[in-house]
């Protein structure tokens, strides 16, 4: 299930070495599947994060219009190890409701490898129950960070 997303920081906080929680948004398009639905979808999310010396917690909420054009709601929580570690553990629990189709509860455990400040790779094992049926997955991803606007320049 491919997509293209942009993230933006709405309130700099502990993830940006400032006081208090960080607040961000993520939005983008769900791209057509190569072997399934050929339509596009869209998603918008809010993320609240707090970092401490021992690790970080991220709370996520999202709404989407799926490729099948169903409404979708998602909530999740992620806990990860210390940001000073090059490779850190991560765990996630989520709940998702795709109206007229499915309801999913899932958990994931994995690792995040911070290659550079602006490049990271992640891998995880996910177990879910979708409409009461078990689903197991191996997930992998890459995150690339880049500034859209540099401080002091317009």
Q: What is the mean pLDDT of residues 75-93?
A: 96
Tell me the DSSP string of 94-107: EEEEETTTEEEEEE
Closest CA to 145 of 111, 116, 124: 116
Q: Is the pLDDT of residue 17 over 50?
A: yes
Q: What is the pLDDT of residues 26-79, one digit of tens each?
A: 999 999 877 776 889 999 999 999 999 999 999 999 999 998 899 999 999 999
Q: What is the pLDDT of residues 91-150, one digit of tens each?
A: 999 999 999 899 999 999 999 999 998 999 999 999 999 999 999 999 999 988 877 665
Structure token pair of residue 91: 């765990």
What is the rounded CA–CA span in Å between residue 22 and residue 13?
4
pLDDT at res. 152: 54
Cα atoms in the Cβ-side hemisphere of radius 13 Å centred on 113? 8
Contact between 116 and 142 under an 8 Å Cβ cutoff? The reply is no
Contact between 12 and 1 under an 8 Å Cβ cutoff? The reply is no
Q: Is the pLDDT of residue 154 over 50?
A: no
Model confidence, pTM: 0.82
């Amino acid at each position: 299930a491919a997509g293209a997303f942009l993230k933006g920081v709405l309130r700099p906080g502990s993830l940006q070495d400032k006081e208090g929680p960080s607040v961000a948004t993520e939005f983008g398009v769900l791209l057509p599947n190569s072997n399934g639905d050929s339509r596009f979808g869209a998603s918008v999310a809010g993320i609240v994060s707090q970092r401490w010396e021992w690790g970080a917690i991220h709370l996520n909420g999202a709404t989407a219009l799926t490729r099948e054009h169903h409404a979708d709601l998602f909530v999740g929580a992620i806990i990860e190890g210390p940001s000073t570690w090059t490779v850190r553990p991560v765990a996630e629990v989520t709940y998702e409701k795709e109206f007229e189709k499915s309801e999913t509860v899932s958990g994931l455990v994995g690792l995040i490898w911070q290659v550079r400040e602006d490049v990271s790779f992640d891998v995880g094992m996910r177990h879910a129950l979708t409409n009461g049926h078990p689903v197991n997955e191996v997930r992998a991803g890459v995150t690339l960070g880049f500034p859209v606007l540099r401080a002091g320049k317009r």
